[in-house]
């Protein structure tokens, strides 16, 4: 009788430690030691600033950014049906997320808490099965927002 292997837990699930020095397993089921997890997390944190700078740039009142770049992806908040009181999904220090309806399709509306500009061309070009798709932005209304596909529970 063959032995059954436990499935690998999803990335965002809590990790059940079976020993004090084992935190997780690699895709082949081999245990990852603390030092390899620390090396991996250090490497990811070193890459994060360059990844972050690709997608965000600080917007200043005298910014010379071209409005035509984002006009192509501009979606007016008036075209989105959203109740900011009842449709709140969650949020953090940089944004709040709301459920809304755009063209009879459920979407997620990410309302930014600070004045920043999103390089929407980069976000729209980013396609991967594990990444939520960006539909557009709303920069000309009261608050800057990113309109994204909605992923239900």
Specify the pLDDT at position 3: 54
Specify the pLDDT at position 89: 92
- pLDDT by position in tens, the chain (length 153): 555 555 555 544 444 343 344 445 556 666 555 444 444 444 444 444 444 444 444 443 444 444 555 577 888 888 899 888 899 999 888 888 999 999 999 999 988 876 565 666 777 788 888 888 888 888 777 778 888 898 877
Torsional class of 127: left (φ above 0), alpha (ψ -120 to 50), beta (otherwise): beta
> Where do the DSSP E strands lie in the chain?
22-25, 31-33, 56-58, 80-81, 88-91, 95-102, 105-112, 116-118, 134-138, 145-149
Specify the pLDDT at position 62: 42
């Amino acid at each position: 009788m063959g032995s059954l292997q436990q499935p690998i837990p999803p990335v965002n699930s809590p990790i059940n430690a079976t020993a004090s020095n084992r935190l997780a397993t690699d895709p082949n089921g081999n245990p990852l030691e603390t030092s390899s997890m620390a090396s991996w997390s250090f490497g990811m944190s070193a890459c994060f600033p360059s990844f972050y700078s690709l997608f965000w740039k600080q917007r200043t009142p005298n910014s010379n950014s071209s409005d035509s770049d984002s006009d192509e992806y501009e979606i007016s908040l008036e075209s989105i049906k959203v109740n900011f009181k009842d449709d709140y999904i969650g949020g953090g220090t940089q944004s709040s997320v709301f459920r809304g309806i755009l063209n009879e399709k459920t979407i997620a509306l990410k309302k930014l808490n600070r004045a920043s500009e999103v390089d929407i061309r980069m976000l729209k070009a980013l396609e991967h099965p594990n990444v939520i798709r960006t539909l557009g932005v709303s920069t000309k209304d009261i608050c800057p927002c990113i309109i994204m596909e909605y992923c239900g529970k």
